[in-house]
Amino acid sequence: MISKQLPDLIVLLIILKLKRALGEGGCDALIQASYSALNYWNDDSLASIRDKCCCTTFILAGGKPYHVILGVVWTDKFIVQRHTDLILYKLARVFTTLGECHKILDHYYEDIYDRRDSIKSLVSASNGTTKFEYGDALENDPATVTFLAKTTTGKPCPLVIKFVDRSGVETLSPPCGVSRCADLYIGPWRMVVMEYIDGRTAQQVPRDQWPTSAYNDVKAALNELHKANHVFGDLCLPNVMFNAGEVCYPKGLSSAVSWPKGVTDFAPIEKEHDEAMLEAYFSVKSID
């Protein structure tokens, strides 16, 4: 074991599980090392540091002449990932790289802090600093990036927190702001904090219970966007807004959506696609 001595505890940086031969004792050294890492980080004495980081650790395991390097992180589940093949032809380079990783990890644990504090508040010129706490994820998926939250300073207010690498902030702000969209409170590069609207989606409500103004309201919202040369991209789900023709659809479009003609992976998002999906999902004809 290679460890890091902190003021009140010891953190393992690299776990070694090496045998004289691969499979010695009828056990897989890789599996043994993985469970050793899990048992170590699951100890109650490490709860304080476990809550502040992803418990990053390296594993060197195997039996002569086979070795493998693995990486460990603990997010919403315990993950062990191989970084090398089982057979290492260039041991010197691999161990040199592992040595550099050891230095980085050693430095990382010297000044560890709760990084969640930086994503539990928003700052605005008018209201100052507003803190909030997270509730449930809005999607039942481990990869979800959208969460329900509420403010903890002042009067409790529900919020939607979404983490994105790009967003249509300008479509929700004057002069191009769309009046029928949820209010955008703040939109930094990594985190978007928006108003939470208590309601149901068009997919959740039977068509015969839709408001009679559904089509006209959606059409009016699209008109506002298109006048500002923006496109919605997907009327079935809440999404960001992009400049027409400048952004493309991602790879792996959902097969559950009836996409308009011309929509394919990596194809440009066009206004005509919005119009076609509006007719397909919200017009009176589509109800028949």
Confidence of residue 37 (pLDDT cuts 50, 70, 90): very high
CA-CA-CA-CA dihedral for 243, 272, 186, 157, to nearest 10: 180
Task: Tell me which CATH code domain 116-195 carries.
Answer: 3.30.200
Predicted local distance difference test score (pLDDT) of residue 170: 54
Percent of the chain with pLDDT over 70: 72
Average pLDDT across the chain, whole number:
77
Q: Where are the beta strands (DSSP E) in the chain?
A: 2-5, 10-19, 57-63, 66-74, 78-82, 121-124, 128-137, 146-151, 158-163, 184-186, 191-195, 230-231, 242-243
226, exposed or middle or buried, with CB in 10 Å at 0-12, 13-18, 19+? Answer: middle
**Tell me: the pLDDT tens digits for 164-203?**
766 555 555 544 444 545 555 554 456 777 777 666 677 7
Closest CA to 219 of 174, 265, 258, 277: 277
Q: 52-74 pLDDT, tens per residue?
A: 899 999 999 988 778 889 999 99
Confidence of residue 239 (pLDDT cuts 50, 70, 90): very low
Q: Residue 79's pLDDT is what?
A: 95
Residue located via tokens 């493309």:
248
> Residues near 151 by Cβ (< 8 Å), separated by ≥ 6?
130, 131, 132, 157, 159
- Angle (CA) 250-259-208 rounded to 5° is 130
pLDDT score at 208: 65
Average pLDDT over residues 241-263: 71
Given a contact cutoff of 8 angstroms between Cβ atoms, the answer to whether 67 and 91 are in contact is yes
Q: What is the pLDDT of residue 155?
A: 82
pLDDT surpassing 60 at residue 236 = yes
Separation CA 153–CA 224 (nearest Å): 35
For β-strands 184-186 and 146-151, DSSP reports them as unpaired
CB 63 within 8 A of CB 21: yes
Query: What pLDDT was estimated at residue 35?
Result: 94
Q: Parallel, antiparallel, or unpaired: how do β-strands 57-63 and 10-19 relate?
A: parallel
Task: List, for residues 111-147, the tens digit of each pLDDT value.
Answer: 887 766 667 776 665 667 778 888 888 777 776 678 8
Q: Are 249 and 265 in contact (CB under 8 A)?
A: yes
What is the spatial distance between Cα 24 and Cα 21, in angstroms, rounded to a whole number? Answer: 6
